Structure 1
Amino acid sequence: MGKKIYNNRYAKIIVMISFVFVLLNCSDNSNTNFSSWMEGILLVVKVPQVETPNEPDKPTLENEFEIHSITPDVLLENTNFVITGKNLHLLSPNELWGEGGEKYVSFTNTSDDEIKAQVKRCSKPILEVLFVIPSKGKENRFLPCLGSFYYSFRSYFLETNQEIVNFEPRELNPSLQGLVNLGEIVFGIEPELPSGISFDTKTGIVTGIPTSSTNQLFQPFQVTASLKTNPKLKIHSDFQLIVLTSEEKNNRTCREISATSTCKGPSPHVCSNSDKCFMSKLACVSDTECGL
């Protein structure tokens, strides 16, 4: 409202001065000096222009949020971590992990200065994350992300009084190598292995000569590899084994038979442990009571 009043006042002044100027032009040319003075006034007096302020450039996405820290600094599958920073409600798993990040990370609780998240799966053994810290600026950091490791097989068939052909963790597993890169590691196993079987806590290798049967049952085991200086930092592997006597092994052996009225199929098989008839050898060895 105030601006409109000022604009009206300026307009009236200009009209009055213009009227005087016209009168002077009609008078004697002897008033040339006064006329020039009035023209100067007209050049000085201008209606103020209301300028529209320029809109600032919209900030880019990477400047909208800041990441100050990620705790812990080694991420493990199926564990939680915390991100601290600024404007974190604008951050999504895709900005943190790249395209498809929601497949690997889930945000469980988000606020402006903190995100509680969970690693569902490590897409890579080393993850690059852009940190934006006021005192340091932008900085790329690399966080280890470790998942499970594996043995050569998931299931082992052992025979009593027969020496085990050593089975051990796969050396090329990226998560196991990532843990080794952080320092000395130790292995542990639960539950205790059957009698006669040994476990090396330095290498995770299983050796020995089993002396007792597991009564036709598979037993599951979980092996952990942990950092010696930080036992809470550990990754896992699972396998199962069965120990058979010679007789039990023979009873589990799948044998091909001729097709009969009660046992038909392209390649019928049976084993002494079961009264079933299987259409193929694969079906037989896949059964829990048969196969080696």
Structure 2
Amino acid sequence: MSCLSELHFARGSTILVTTCSSKVATITGTLPRCDLGFLSEDECWSILKERAFVDNTAAPADPDLEEVGIEIAKKCAGLPSVAKVFGGMLHSKNGADQWSAILQSKIWDSPEAKEIIISELKLSLDNLKFPFLKQCFAYCSMSKKGSEIERDDLIQMWMAQGLLHPSTENSDLEMEDIGTEYFHILLQNSLLQDLTKDEFGVVAKCKMHALVHDFAELVSKSESVTSSSNKMVGTLKIRHASHIPTSVLESIQKKTLRGLRSLFSNSEVPRNMLPRLRGLHVLNLYNSNIKELPISIGKLKQLRH
């Protein structure tokens, strides 16, 4: 701001600051900040179409191609950079079957996507001032994509995993206060989106943008496995498992199960498996339709949440 204030502008000149950080917007703004919303599906299709048909921006002659293209536009989640990436991927593809293959693929499969989108998201991640904040962000990939995340629940799980650490200047803060601080930093950096506020105007529920969730999975892939992961789960490094089928869970080696720190499951966990999960810190059985917990849950002596 001191640098900007030293500049002498011609009459009528304006500086427009764009940022992913609400804190930066608040500090630099002399006018109220303008929060940009997401593009509509039609706008995404328009960008995608223009990039896919560089020589002819008119709609494709093949109606099947347009139908698939509109579905791909929905997958852009309102982000222009994603629409550009998909448009570039479709440029050399002429058949509806080739477009359908793009629709079924993950955007991370494209080198261009990795360069553009991951670099943008990585900038927000690198902006986080505490190292443990990055782990807290990565842990958010345990939630189901598109689901609501309760702030207090998330903070309790961070606490259970030992991810909350006071800064030197605020060493007397309660764990819940540190978690709330972490939560708001993730919100300010657009890595979480506020969804609902309580009666005091405090964000009570949030969610992750679909692509940010994919990015969180990418960041945490060395020690986490989710329902959308393609990697094998029989590795000694796995510390967190979310919404994987019971059959897959049963196939994991006992040695690996002992190292598991989190288990999120919406299906019933076999009774004989619980004693093997002695290292669990977090057990989330939300929506698993369990009517009675087995006595063997008492063997989970490390369980904190």
Larger fraction in strand: 1
Structure of larger gyration radius = 1
Give yes or no for TM over 0.5. Answer: no
Q: TM-score range by the shorter chain?
A: under 0.3
